[in-house]
Structure 1
């Protein structure tokens, strides 16, 4: 559990550093991007190792139907995340599509995982995304981009389905089948 918590702290700290200490981050110059990228990657590695190695400590037992809600929310999360790169009509509907997707992802996983490690991991990611949005909104103005062609939104739907299939395959490979039997 210690590796999980250290990984989360490194991930969150590296992500928030630019917002909480902009002067220090700016003084690091372009080398700072590399340092932060390494810190984020190291945090992610520690999160994966820590989560996979954490003891299963049950806190609550999610009802079976939550799996369906999780899967629906995950499709939405993948779609919303993809909106950050879209050039279609949906472009600019959300100010923070990636962080919104992280929030949806975290809530979806909290609904189906009642163990302590999951609550720590997904709860921390939800809290980080909320804090990140608040800090960005306080410090940066947003100019809503102009919408693009609708065909780009159709492409987003196709990519969402493909990405959801890939994510499902990765979960299956890791031994977690995300669909009820």
Structure 2
């Protein structure tokens, strides 16, 4: 049952995010109520992924070397920063078209580096594939893009500092769940 929930969760994540781009007329016909429906599907997808991931048996595919922990943590820090408002309010990410999706890709890739089990490969690999596909679909649907006015380096620094704090908080939550993400 764990595998079914995990795969269903990843599939629902894909469907909810791509719905607007793949079936724009159907999404438009739903009006504002469609946002709530999509949000519910996204919450369900996350619940299914978490329950499915925790219920799948551990199937080792590869053994990540311990130094990957450092690379993972650096990539997760970069991902958190990219998913912050730094893309709109800072200078460094100002010309990056999809900083949030870029951060999401860094986050999934980082987790693939340190998790060598099949459930992690299915979940994080499926989410990484979605993020790549989402960028392609958005760029095809909206080929013209111009970056907004750049912000300030002070905002970049502020969001980076907040990202370091958030990384620590996320690390503590991972520890409470039994997955200590920092070197020991």
Q: What TM-score results when the alignment is normalised by the length of structure 1?
A: 0.95
User: 1:132-157 CA distances to partner (integer Å, 9 max, x unpaired)?
Assistant: 00000011132211112222112111
1:178 corresponds to 2:181: yes
Pairwise CA distance, 1:86: 4.4
Q: How many residues align?
A: 181
Gaps of 5+ in 2: none
For the 8 Å contact 1:83–1:91, the answer to whether it is kept is no
Deviations 1:54-73 (A, max 9, x none): 11011111111111111111
User: Within 2, Cα distance between the matches of 1:147 and 1:155?
Assistant: 15
Superimposed CA distance per residue, residues 75-124 of structure 1 (whole angstroms, 9 cap, x where no aligned partner) = 11111111456412235231111111111011111111111100000000
SS in 2 for 1:25: helix
Instruction: Tell me if structure 2 keeps the 8 A contact 1:106–1:122.
Output: yes
For structure 1, the residue ranges without an aligned partner over 5 or more in a row are none
TM-score normalised over the length of structure 2:
0.94
- Distance, in Å, in 2 between the alignment partners of 1:31 and 1:108 is 35
**Structure 1 counterpart of 2:76, from 74, 77, 94:** 74
Cα RMSD over matched residues?
1.3
CA 1:70–1:136: 2 relative to 1, 3 Å: same
Matched, 1:167 2:174: no
CA contact (8 A) 2:91 2:152 kept: yes
What secondary structure, in the 3-state scheme, does the structure 2 residue paired with 1:57 have? coil
Contact kept? 2:88, 2:150, Cα under 8 Å: no
Q: Distance in 1 between matches of 2:61 and 2:26?
A: 40
Write out the 4+ residue segments of structure 1 that deviate beyond 3 Å after TM superposition: 83-86
